[in-house]
Each structure stands twice: as C-alpha cells, then as structure tokens.
Amino acid sequence: MNVGLKTQILPAGEAAVAAAARCLAQGGLVAFPTETVYGLGADAANAAAIAQLYQAKGRPSFNPLIAHVGDLRAGMRIARFDATAIALAEAFWPGPLTLVLPKTSGCAVADLATAGLDTVAIRVPAHPVARAILRAFGGPVVAPSANLSGHVSPTTAAHVQSDLMGLIDLIVDGGAVEVGVESTIVGCFDAPMLLRPGGVPRGEIERVLGRTLVQPPDDADNDASQPLAPGMLASHYAPRTRVRLNADDIEAGEALLAFGPATVPGTDSATVVMNLSAHGDLNEAAANLFGYLRALDAKGARAIAVMPVPHHGLGEAINDRLRRAAMGRE
Ligand code: TXA
Ligand code: MG
C-alpha cells in the first residue's frame, strides 16, 4: 500500500484543473466530482497508474473500470459504436449513462483497466469540473467511484477524504454532486442490456431505443469469473451496520432512513432519523442516499431500518443500491 502519500485537497477552479491534468499525466491518482458521484481518476493508457488505483481502492483487478472521455468523437477512438450506441450517446451525453461497447483495435485503454475483456465501458460526464479536467488532460481517464472497495460511493469531497486520505495524490473539491447515484450502464450487445440501473431512468432509455432493455441473467451478480458488470457483485454497497429494508415499524435501537411524508410506528424510538426526501421526490432521495447511509452508519445503531421507496424513475437505482447495502459485505 502507498499509505503515506501526501494527499492535496484543492477547491475546484483553474489551478485545481491544471494540477489535476498534470498529476494524471505523471501517473498520479486524482479524485474529482462528476454529476453522479466523485470519481478516482487515472490515465487510462497508463497500466502502472491503474495498478496503483486498484491498490488504493482495495479493488479486485478483475473488476473493470469506466473510461471517461470528453465527447463522442473521443469515445469513437476507443470503442466501436453501432447505431444503437450512437443514438444513446446523442440522447444522453454528456450525462449519467455508461455504454459497454467492443474495443477498437487501437484502443488506448490499458488491458488492466478492462480486466482483459474485449469490451470497454465509456461515459462522457456532464459535471463542469470533470469536463474541464478531461479537456486539460486530453486523453481518456478511467475513474471508478472514489471510495474504498465495498464502501458506498462518495457524494462529497469529505467522503473521499475519509476513505482515501494518504492513498491518492489529489482531491478536487467541487462541492456535493447533483445526481447522487452512479451512471446507468447499458451493454450494447445484440439486444441492449441494463447492466446497472443508475442516474438515467430505464424508461428514458427505452423511449429512445423504442424497445425494452434486456435484463442480465439472474446469476450475473455473483459470477465473478465471467461478469457482465462485475462491480455489481452483490456485496458492493454495504455499510458496516446491518440494513433492514421495507421497514413498516421501527424496532428499539434502530436508526431510521425515512422516505416521504408518512411516519411508521416506532419512529419516535429511533436512535436517529434521516429522511431521503420529506416530500417524496426521488431525485432528491438519490442525491441524499449515499451521504445519509454513511451518516447513519457512523451512529453505531443496532440496524438501519429503511422505509419503502417507490420503484419508478430513479427509484429503480435507489432500490438496487439499498438491496445491495442490505446484503452485507460478505
Ligand atoms: O457514475 C459512475 O459511473 C461513476 C463515476 C465516477 O463516473 N463511476 C463508477 O465506476 O460507478 P465504478 O468503477 O464504481 O463502477 C463501474 C462499473 C462496475 O460495475 C464495472 O464492473 C462495470 O462498470 N464495467 C466496467 N467495464 C465493464 C465492461 N467492459 N463490461 C461490463 N461491465 C463493466
Ligand atoms: Mg463503485
């Protein structure tokens, strides 16, 4: 481990963007805000930097990374886009959609970052700081969420700091992110497949495609040998505290993660209550989700009881992350 690196923290701005680009070019690790969650960036073409990235996160190297690029043209240098992929890119980029596509023969992304697969995951982030860093750096940047492997994703620079201080070179602080859950991942296979629900609701993608997205096979979650989206291993998003879903009452000693205006019996006896969105707005709930899970996890409650969250819109991604949180780490 490279514990003992001096991690610099800079407020977003011209100086931070220039420092980030310089650091990436030198093989360093830079955390920066995207509209979904904070990413931990490395030069996608630099295998040594990517090896350090896996080490810093404690992430298994069979779990491939997303290559972030500035625009569709840059994406086309590393992957082959068919008509479906182009339609999705034009509809949703820049934005919280990742496409899994066949690599081009000259694909600059190191094999280590794609875990030896012949596909690569690509996205064009919308956050102005991410875009400025990509522009200044000038090449693809691989960036997983900037958390220790197994922790929930960071939505503020402080979350990044608490996980990765001393393990990475630079954190660019651009404030809290807007979306709060990771990008939606679509595999552009013969039939487009929803590999991970995320920041773009399924319905919006299906409207553009004019067809429904195929579901991955049931066992894809746990098949680490030939994963479709290996980061979706069941245990990926677990807090330390036990998580109890669809709670319709609160038991003694539990913390409550509430949703909407209703209350459930026992709320008064909860050790602490946080409401994802008091008026039941799923976008607001997504933005609060990971921060509230971290905050409640720190309270040392017996369990975190979670009220039901509807499944439409961003609710699909929220429920997916909650389900994984409830499965526990192992
Ligand atoms: O919103 C996001 O996507 C954030 C920000 C930083 O861009 N990034 C992110 O990265 O969530 P990460 O590494 O935490 O999740 C990437 C997911 C993993 O589940 C990984 O297995 C999957 O993408 N993935 C990457 N390359 C793949 C490929 N070639 N085929 C299938 N899945 C892939
Ligand atoms: Mg992640």
The DSSP secondary structure of 193-213, one letter per residue, reads EEEE--SS-HHHHHHHHTSPP
Q: pLDDT above 70 covers what percent of the chain? A: 92
Residues 6+ apart with CB under 8 A from 232: 195, 196, 220, 221, 324
Could you tell me if 34 and 94 are in contact, meaning their C-beta atoms sit under 8 angstroms apart?
no
Q: Which of 289, 297, 9 is nearest to 164 (CA)?
A: 9
Whether residue 330 is predicted with pLDDT greater than 70 in this model: the reply is: no
Could you tell me if 108 and 47 are in contact, meaning their C-beta atoms sit under 8 angstroms apart?
no
Instruction: Please give the full DSSP string across 106-161, using - where no structure is assigned.
Output: T--S-TTTTTT-SEEEEE----HHHHHHHHHH-S-EE--BSS-TTSPPPSSHHHHH
Say which range, 36-45, 120-129, 217-226, has the weakest mean pLDDT.
217-226
The residue whose CA has the least distance to atom 20 of ligand 1 is 231
Confidence of residue 5 (pLDDT cuts 50, 70, 90): confident
Confidence of residue 223 (pLDDT cuts 50, 70, 90): very low
Could you tell me if 328 and 238 are in contact, meaning their C-beta atoms sit under 8 angstroms apart?
yes
Confidence of residue 86 (pLDDT cuts 50, 70, 90): very high
Which ligand 1 atom minimizes the distance to the CA of 227?
A: 31
- Sequence-ordered alpha helix ranges (H) in 182-260: 202-209
Confidence of residue 219 (pLDDT cuts 50, 70, 90): low
Whether residue 329 is predicted with pLDDT greater than 90 in this model: the reply is: no
Task: Give residue-wise pLDDT tens across range 130-140.
Answer: 999 999 999 99
Cα(150) to centroid of ligand 2, in Å?
8
Mean pLDDT of 293-315: 97
Binding pocket residue ranges, ligand 1, CB within 6 Å: 34, 36-37, 39, 63-66, 96, 98, 100, 114, 117, 119-121, 123, 125, 143-145, 182-183, 185, 195-196, 228-232
Whether residue 16 is predicted with pLDDT greater than 60 in this model: the reply is: yes
pTM score, whole prediction: 0.93
Whether residue 284 is predicted with pLDDT greater than 80 in this model: the reply is: yes
pLDDT at position 237 is 67
Mean pLDDT of 24-50: 98
Residues 6+ apart with CB under 8 A from 203: 312, 313
Residue-wise burial string across 193-227, b where 16 or more C-beta atoms lie within 10 A, e elsewhere: bbbbbbbbbbeebeeebeeebeebeeebbeeeeeb
Mean pLDDT taken over the chain: 93
pLDDT at position 222 is 47
Whether residue 1 is predicted with pLDDT greater than 50 in this model: the reply is: no
pLDDT at position 225 is 45
Whether residue 277 is predicted with pLDDT greater than 90 in this model: the reply is: yes
Confidence of residue 236 (pLDDT cuts 50, 70, 90): low
pLDDT at position 61 is 84
Task: Tell me how far apart the alpha carbons of residues 88 and 34 are, in angstroms, rounded to a whole number.
Answer: 19
Cα(26) to centroid of ligand 1, in Å?
24
Cα(182) to centroid of ligand 2, in Å?
8
Could you tell me if 66 and 230 are in contact, meaning their C-beta atoms sit under 8 angstroms apart?
no
At 174, the amino acid letter reads G
pLDDT at position 89 is 98
